[in-house]
Structure 1
Amino acid sequence: MSTSTSTTPAGIDTAAVRAAAKNLNDGAVTAGYKGQREAVITMLNGALATELVCILRYKRHYYTVSGLQNGPIKAEFLEHATQEQEHADWLAERIVQLNGKPDLNPATLLARSHAEYDESDSVQSMVRANLIAERVAIESYRQMIEQIGDTDPTTRHLLIKIMAVEEEHADDMRDLLE
């Protein structure tokens, strides 16, 4: 196998790429990664905390809503909790890909979360609290996407994907307001 420089027609130095790929300790983080890895991990752990608090809030609302007329709202809360869990899983996986550790410490969860927990008893108060939390999440993701810019396309893409679902959640909650 030749170690001489070989550039593809697309301008990729395959010899350099192959040589750098032999550093196996960094997993998915290659020499070409341009993001501030520790800052991105910290950012993602904040987003993870937010998603976990959102799961807990939606689950509480799901279990405490009562009345036959509230069946569709209860179902919406459960669907959102399930989707927030998926977001949390994606964020934790990305943190690990960046050689970080997902922070799942329940003792510091609320302090790290961008959104708040809610113990409302009325359905409309629950819907309002969830709409506010979704709006907080949307703006938080927008700011994270802006900060990351083009330095980490994988994380940027993930955050855009999650933000799109959060926007759908906000629309759902707004539609449920009386």
Structure 2
Amino acid sequence: MSQSHHNPAPLTLDEAAIRRAAETSHLKEGAVTPGILPYAKEICALLNDALATEWVCVLRYKRHYFTASGLTSTPIADEFLVHANEEMSHADRLAARIVQLGGEPLLDPAGFHARSHADYDDSTDLDSMIRANLVAERVAVEVYRQMIQVIGDKDPTTTRLLQEILTDEEEHADELSDWLDRA
């Protein structure tokens, strides 16, 4: 019984793109090589929206950290602070990548609300705080999943960064879900 073998397409590199990357007239573009260039501006726009989301999350978590009260609040508030610091790290990493791609991180707080995928929350009871943070984390998980899918192999470095952040956001959502039963 003979098997039919299909000849797969050869694995070849785009030599013209490699030569363009080596052109000294483009050295100021740094990491933005010909393969990323067509997408860099759009990727920066997506990253800036994610950056605004991270900042809103930092502010929401900080508010909840400082205002949580009640018998069960201390360990939960402490977790809010841990999450705030991790979201700040995400924001820093996103801003650095935007700059690396030749863009500018949009850090004017006046624009955060309009660009953020998540909402700010000024709840005063612990259960509402946990729920608001869990909703925001679930939104972040979905946003990062979609960004990973959309950007994909157009920019593998950004995709890898987003995958790392997604892992953190999923952990945050799981932790908050566990806290729902304890508050």
The interval holding the TM-score normalised by the smaller chain is 0.7 to 0.9
How many residues are matched? 169
Does residue 20 in structure 1 map to residue 25 in structure 2?
A: no
The answer to whether the aligner puts 1:148 opposite 2:158 as a matched pair is: no
CA distance in 1 between counterparts of 2:17 and 2:118 reads: 44
**1:169 CA drift (Å):** 0.1
Which of 86, 89, 92 aligns to 2:89? It is 86
Structure 2 partner of 1:130: 133
State which of 26, 29, 34 in structure 2 corresponds to 1:31. Answer: 34
Deviation at 1:15, TM superposition (A): 10
Contact persistence 1:34–1:152 (CA under 8 A): no
The TM-score normalised by the length of structure 1 is: 0.88
TM-score w.r.t. the length of structure 2 is 0.85
Percent pairwise identity: 58
Structure 1 distance, partners of 2:169, 2:52, is: 15
Structure 1 unaligned regions, length at least 5: 1-9
> Does the Cα contact within 8 Å between 2:17 and 2:35 map onto a contact in 1?
no
Q: Does 1:111 align with 2:111?
A: no
Task: Evaluate the alpha carbon distance shift between residue 15 and residue 40 of structure 1 in structure 2; reply closer, same or farther with a 3 A threshold.
Answer: closer
RMSD: 2.0
- 2:148 alignment partner AA: I
Partner of 1:65: 68
Distance 1:148 1:20 in 2: 20
2: CA distance, partners of 1:121 / 1:154: 40
Task: Report the CA distance shift for 1:85/1:74 in structure 2 as closer, same or farther (over 3 A).
Answer: same
Look up the match of 1:52: 55
Distance in 1, matches of 2:39 and 2:20, equals 23
